[in-house]
Amino acid sequence: MIRKITFCILCFILSTSAFSQTFEADLDLRPRFEYRHGFNNLFPDDADPAAFVTQRSRLNLNYKSELLNVMLSIQDVSTWGDTRQILINDGNDSFFLFQAWAELIFDENWSTKVGRQPIVYDNERIFGGLDWAMQGRFHDAALLRYKNDSFMADAGFAFNQTSQENEGTAYDVPGFFTYKTMQYLYAKKEWEKAQASFLFLNTGFQEFDENDQADGVYYTHTAGTYFQFPLSVVNFSGSFYYQFGKAYPINVDLSAYEFMLEASYKPQNTLFALGFEAQSGSDQGGSDNHSFFPLYGTNHAFNGFMDYFYVGNHANNVGLNDLYGKVVLKTGEKSNLLGAIHYFGANGDLANNADPYLGTEIDVQFTQKLMKFATLKVGYSHMFASDSMSLIKEGRPNDNTNNWAWAMLVVNPKLFTHKFDNN
């Protein structure tokens, strides 16, 4: 048996070397300055604003051939000044492996991709790479993939453990939505100017008893669709997802939904968009759980840039209704200006029949391409919070100024590309 396996591996390596191959290396450096005065939460009384610079330093190495693709990505994410200048090592644990995966290509339709990898689909509402966050988002998973000219399907599997043990599989990792096990099926069909996809996701979370002993796994299920289609000169996109099963608090039945519809129109160099998203929520003081959570998506791209909702917060809360409009104006050959406004309301009932209106947020972002491998981005956001916002934000006052400003330089040169053929 060992001889047969060894022979198969040798045949695979030799067959791979018979095709043309490409090796690429690129760099991703992005320092970002932020001024926070009410970012992510209402600004408290008698507090000073925060200001800092964070930086991602990422090296990507990619090998491609007709039978094998391999990606290795290592990165350091740190805050300027978090390590003393003459320390012999970085004591902040900021250097880690972001991607390490191999994709075996069986034929023109079938492949499997195994290892640490971002999982990204559609508009990144449920699965996204979270590129705004310096660390990004990855999964340790195995995918079985099928693809032809107009249809694709992925089946994904993951099983997480903190270490190699001899007894038990308890998974005790902090994080509200850190799963122990995951399985999903994703399928997408494309037409000439339209597309539609379907996702079924099963996530299992470790359950512990009152003595902090592992006591089984509870499962949350998410199923739904995303679509895009044109109607005359207007493009429509939207999604509908339903969550059910069990959710935190453990053994509480979950029944929740997300619905989004956006219409966009682009005459010449200006994009106009108007949309509405509803994510169901639980009533304050109620016992039923109707709180939808978008799980592993790029949540910063939705519901305002100030991250008041669903970015490390707002889980098991009153949900959200978000009516928004945005304009993207091309201001030059290599620059554009984005402006957006969000009108936020609670989806579930607030305590004491409070007004469901939570606040209005305004976002502005300017992007300038400086050169082929360098882009400057500058942004400003302002939250006009209502009295009801305090009810879902720990009772913090809503009458302080809540704003956020940032500037980021993205430098991503391709270091080299080498193509070779062993024929």
Strand partners, 111: 105, 145
In this structure, of 56-60, 86-90, 378-382, the range with the lowest mean pLDDT score is 86-90
Question: Is the model's pTM score more than 0.75?
Answer: yes
Distance CA 174, CA 251 (A): 19
Instruction: Give pLDDT, residue 14.
Output: 47
Give the sign of the dihedral formed by CA 120, CA 122, CA 124, CA 125. negative
The per-residue pLDDT for range 10-29, each reduced to its tens digit, is 454 445 455 689 999 999 99
Is CATH 3.40.720.10 the classification given to domain 21-421?
Answer: no
Burial of 240-259, coded b for 16+ CB within 10 Å and e otherwise, reads: ebebeebbbeeeeebebbbb
Distance CA 398, CA 35 (A): 19
pLDDT band at 106 (very low <50, low <70, confident <90, very high): very high
The per-residue pLDDT for range 317-334, each reduced to its tens digit, is 999 999 999 999 999 999
Is 397 in a helix, a strand, or coil?
Answer: coil
pLDDT band at 94 (very low <50, low <70, confident <90, very high): confident
Rounded to 5 degrees, what are φ and ψ at 63? Answer: -115, 135
Amino acid at 34: E
Distance CA 370, CA 410 (A): 10
pLDDT band at 175 (very low <50, low <70, confident <90, very high): low
Distance CA 116, CA 186 (A): 19
The per-residue pLDDT for range 230-245, each reduced to its tens digit, is 999 999 999 999 999 9
- Residue 375 tokens read as 């882009």
In this structure, of 9-13, 155-159, 413-417, the range with the lowest mean pLDDT score is 9-13
- Residue 406 tokens read as 């940032």
Instruction: Give pLDDT, residue 93.
Output: 75
The residue extents of the domains of the chain are: 21-421
Distance CA 124, CA 90 (A): 33
